[in-house]
Amino acid sequence: MATYKQPCIHCGEMIERDSRLCSKCGSRSPFGYRCPNCLKAITRGSPACSGCGRPLETTCFHCGQPTFVGVDKCDACGKSLMIRCENKRCGEPQFFEISKCVVCGKDIKKAQKQIEYLIDQNQQ
Q: Site residues (CB under 5 A) for Zn ion?
A: 8, 10-11, 13, 22, 24-25, 27, 35, 37-38, 40, 49, 51-52, 60, 62-63, 74, 76-77, 85, 87, 90, 92, 101, 103-104
- For residues 54 and 25, give the distance between their C-alpha atoms in angstroms, rounded to a whole number: 26
Single-letter amino acid code for the residue at 49: C
CB of 108 to Zn ion, least distance (A): 8
Rg over alpha carbons for the chain, rounded to the nearest Å, is: 15
- For residues 124 and 36, give the distance between their C-alpha atoms in angstroms, rounded to a whole number: 28
CB of 37 to Zn ion, least distance (A): 4
- Adjacent-strand bridge partners of 29: none
If the CB atoms of residues 2 and 11 are measured against Zn ion, the closer one turns out to be: 11
